[in-house]
Amino acid sequence: MQADWNDNWNNEAACIDTDPDVLFVQGAAQNRVKIICAGCNVRTECLAVALDNQIEYGVWGGMTERERRALLRRRNNVTSWRDLLMSARQEYGRVDPVAFVRQS
């Protein structure tokens, strides 16, 4: 496992002190939540959890539920998002997970 993968990511998330109701909004309000995610050091780990567990609601790792559903449909052959994103981080350095999955 890559040394900088943080299995305790939820303790270091930028949103840790945010009211959870703020993270589970709809429509344009999701763009405000994505701003919180943009500066988060554990964004990749968060996104991997949401994708691997097919979490249906909320903004996770900077992606809305709609964006995650589209990604899961487009990349239905991925068996472990954690492994894929860990490999990308190892190969490319600390990558932006949202940009990586959109272009792959």
pTM: 0.85
CB burial of residue 42 (10 Å; 0-12, 13-18, 19+): buried
CB atoms within 10 A of CB 80: 12
Domain ranges of the chain: 9-103
**Residue range 67-79: average pLDDT?**
95
pLDDT tens track for 40-67 = 999 999 999 999 999 999 999 999 999 9
